[in-house]
């Protein structure tokens, strides 16, 4: 299997857009189609594109965190969001809503459900990266002279 220059370039162009799309879906999810799950899936799809173009080494260099760290952080964020209301005398998983005034962007509705959703998407991304790391392999041959992989050293 050879490494394709065209695929590499296209993936690099699309990658950041897919991350942005994922973020967008995450933030817009509460009012329009989207949500943490889809957001995570889209971002994960972007990461798996990197795998398709450059193998597992590419994924490792793109995602600096270990997959279980992402997974654990996501679970922690979600469970903390679930538990926090208890400390304020509210019910488990009661979400707070308030308006935040940012001088440039104007008023923003903030809902702590968003935090929960952030956790969900982190879990999804973590799972995808974990699958890639578990089953993925390195590019067997490196034909792109601009990318040094571990095999070269």
**DSSP code of 96?**
P
Contact 106, 151 (CB under 8 A): no
Please tell me the distance from the alpha carbon of residue 76 to that of residue 15, in angstroms, as a whole number.
27
Using rule CB under 8 A, residue 23 touches other proteins: no
- Would you count residue 147 as binding other proteins (CB under 8 A)? no
- Residues 6+ positions from 86 with CB-CB distance below 8 Å: 92
Query: Does residue number 54 form part of the binding site for other proteins (CB under 8 A)?
Result: no
Query: Which two structure tokens, joined as six digits, stand for 88?
Result: 């304020």
Among residues 14, 23, 113, 147, the one that binds other proteins under rule CB under 8 A: 113
Q: For other proteins, which is the closer residue by CB, 9 or 76? A: 76
Q: How far is the CB of 24 from other proteins (least distance, A)?
A: 12
CA distance 21 to 43: 7
Could you list the residues that contact other proteins (CB under 8 A)? 25, 29-38, 41-42, 44-45, 48, 51-52, 67-68, 71-72, 74-75, 78-79, 82, 93, 95, 97, 109, 111, 113, 116-117, 119-120, 123-124, 126-128, 130-137
């Amino acid at each position: 299997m050879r490494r394709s220059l065209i695929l590499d370039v296209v993936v690099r162009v699309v990658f950041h857009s897919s991350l942005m799309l994922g973020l967008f879906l995450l933030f817009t999810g509460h009012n329009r189609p989207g949500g943490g799950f889809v957001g995570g899936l889209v971002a994960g799809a972007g990461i798996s594109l990197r795998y398709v173009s450059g193998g597992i080494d590419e994924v490792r260099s793109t995602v600096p965190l270990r997959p279980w760290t992402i997974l654990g952080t996501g679970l922690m964020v979600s469970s903390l969001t679930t538990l926090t209301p208890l400390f304020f005398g509210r019910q488990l998983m009661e979400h707070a809503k308030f308006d935040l005034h940012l001088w440039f962007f104007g008023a923003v509705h903030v809902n702590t459900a968003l935090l929960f959703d952030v956790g969900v998407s982190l879990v999804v991304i973590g799972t995808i990266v974990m699958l890639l790391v578990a089953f993925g392999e390195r590019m067997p041959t490196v034909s792109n002279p601009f990318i040094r992989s571990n095999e070269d050293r």
